[in-house]
Amino acid sequence: MKTHLSVNVNAVAQLRNRRDLPWPSVTGISRLVLEAGADGITVHPRPDERHVRRTDVFELEAMLRGDFPGIEYNIEGYPSADFLDLVEQAKPDQVTFVPDSPEQATSDHGWDVAANRAILIPAVDRMKALGIRVSLFIDEDPAVPPLAREVGADRVELYTAPYGGAFTPEAIRPHIEALTKTADAALSAGLAVNAGHDLTMQNLPGLKAAIPDLAEVSIGHALTADALLVGFPAAVKGYLAALGR
């Protein structure tokens, strides 16, 4: 199965925000990665706009719809009223709900779906009424995908930071086993499977081999770090090769 590569451009936006200047351009870098073969763009706008800004969300939407029809636009975030309003206006192809609090530096855990049904069900229903695919960010736990299905999700995104932080075969093995079981549970529940967080050119082939039916990976930090050395087009091509493409 072909696994799509969605490039998260938050790190580009965060670098730009260090100065009151328009570069590096979030839309410009997004154009480069798409021309190099990436399948989509991911952003995770936060309430304090410390990286991606509301203006970026709409500038990307205009560029993608105008110049790259068919390319997927994925917006991640906590389903607050403000976030849902933003997504409703931008109309991406996919929204990924994450259980982040505003002060978190980055995502560090998946949803406790059972405890958050009252938050998730109306948010999922609102997005699906607009024709937006919904993915839920979850931990490596095979008990969670059936619950994600119950609240109406179309996909789950596997939180892969524990796997990405393991560097020996002995440390990697339990995470690969848990991720594989979670992916199998999701597929059995009728959900597609995405993955993201701390995925690199080095650990991506192992994940793809373990979960051949992986629909999409969302990668930002590592790809941006690699791009500092080789440029964004070459980095994208390297990640596509790591996915066997």
Percentage of residues in the chain having pLDDT higher than 90: 95
Q: Taking the domains of the chain in order of start, what are their residue ranges?
A: 4-132+197-242
Give residue 102's pLDDT: 61
Q: 113-123: buried (b, 16+ CB within 10 Å) or exposed (e) per residue?
A: beebeebbeeb
Give residue 106's pLDDT: 65
pLDDT tens readout for residues 161-217:
999 999 999 999 999 999 999 999 999 999 999 999 999 999 999 999 999 999 999
Give residue 108's pLDDT: 73
CATH of 4-132+197-242, one of 3.20.20.70, 3.20.20.150, 2.60.15.10, 3.20.20.80: 3.20.20.70
Give residue 227's pLDDT: 98
Give residue 156's pLDDT: 98
pLDDT tens readout for residues 99-134:
986 665 566 789 999 999 999 999 999 999 999 999
Confidence of residue 148 (pLDDT cuts 50, 70, 90): very high
Give residue 143's pLDDT: 98
Give residue 103's pLDDT: 60
Mean pLDDT of 12-18: 96
Q: Are 197 and 161 in contact (CB under 8 A)?
A: yes
pLDDT at 226 over 80: yes
Positions annotated as catalytic residues are 44, 76, 197
Residues 6+ apart with CB under 8 A from 216: 3, 4, 5, 6, 39, 40, 72, 192, 194, 195
Residue 137 burial (CB < 10 Å; 0-12/13-18/19+)?
buried
Give residue 5's pLDDT: 98
Query: 17-21, 118-122, 157-161: which range is least confident on average?
Result: 17-21
Give residue 105's pLDDT: 58
Q: What single letter denotes the amino acid at residue 55?
A: T
Give residue 241's pLDDT: 98
Pairwise CA distance, residues 170 & 183, whole Å: 21
Percentage of residues in the chain having pLDDT higher than 70: 97
Q: Are 90 and 128 in contact (CB under 8 A)?
A: no
